[in-house]
Amino acid sequence: MQLAILGTGAVGRALGMAFSSAGHDVVIGTRDPERTRQREEWAGIDLVLAAYEDLDGDVFINATDGRGSLPALEAVGDALDGKVVIDTSNALDFSQGFPPSLFISNTDSLAEQLQREFPEVRLVKMFNTMNNTVMVNPQGLGDDSTIFVAGNDPAARQAAASLAADLGWTDVFDLGDLTAARGLEMYLPLWVRIFSLLGRPDFNIKVVR
C-alpha cells in the first residue's frame, strides 16, 4: 500500500520507518524536501520526501502538530478527496508554557474541525494517545495495551485498524463516529501528567473488558 505521511517530526519519521519495514511504500510530505533532508535528525533515514503539493497515496497520515494540521492538509489539496486520512494530531496549546492546555475541547475536536474543512476526506482519529515509540512498537511495553480508532466511515476505521495491526497492535478499540475524538484528544492532559510522574514516555493504557 502507498502511504503518504504529512509531517517530518518524530511521529512522521517513526511511522514512516515502521510502515516501510512492514512492507508499505512510504512517502513523507514536507514543505521543502531539500531543507528537510539536510536536517541532522534525517541523517541516515532512507525515506522518500515530497512536497505537500506533490503528495499522493492510498492512505494519508497526518503526523503534523495540531496548529499545523489544517495548513498541511490544505497544501496537499485535492489529492485527499475520497482518501482515508489517519489523524494523529493533538490540539495542544503551549502558549502559556508547560504543561500545555487544549485549544479545542469538550464540544468539538481538532479531528472534527479537519473533517468539516475536508468533507470528502474519510478521516479517522488514531495514534494520538501515545508516544511515537509506542505507536510503532506496542509489544515493547511487555504487555498488550489499547489503541483507539474513531471516524464517521466504518470502512475507513477498518482500514486504519488493519494498518495498526501491521505494526503489531492486537487490541484495537473501535469507538465509533468522530465525536469520540473529543475524548481521545482530551486524554492528553492526563497523558502529560503521567509522563511527568514517570519521567518517561514509553507507557500506554489498556481497556480491561
CATH number at residue 85: 3.40.50.720
Pairing label, strands 2-6, 25-30: parallel
d(Cα 99, Cα 189) in Å, to the nearest integer? Answer: 8
pLDDT at 116: 98
pLDDT at 167: 98
pLDDT tens for residues 130-166? 999 999 999 999 999 999 999 999 999 999 999 999 9
Q: Which residues of the chain have pLDDT under 70?
A: none
Short-list 132, 138, 120, 125, CA closest to 90: 125
In a domain, 206, yes or no: no
d(Cα 125, Cα 204) in Å, to the nearest integer? Answer: 17
C-alpha cell at 150: 474513531
| Chain centre distance of CA 34 | 24
| Domain count across the chain | 1
The answer to whether the CB of 202 falls within 8 A of the CB of 140 is: yes
In a domain, 209, yes or no: no
Domain with 6 in it? 2-198
The answer to whether the CB of 152 falls within 8 A of the CB of 174 is: no
The one-letter amino acid code at 120 reads: E
In a domain, 178, yes or no: yes
The one-letter amino acid code at 23 reads: G
In a domain, 29, yes or no: yes
pLDDT at 181: 98
pLDDT tens for residues 21-44? 999 999 999 999 999 999 999 898
In a domain, 192, yes or no: yes
pLDDT at 71: 97
* Cis peptide bond N-terminal to 99, omega within 30: yes
In a domain, 75, yes or no: yes
pLDDT at 21: 97
- DSSP letters spanning 18-32: HHHHTT-EEEEEES-
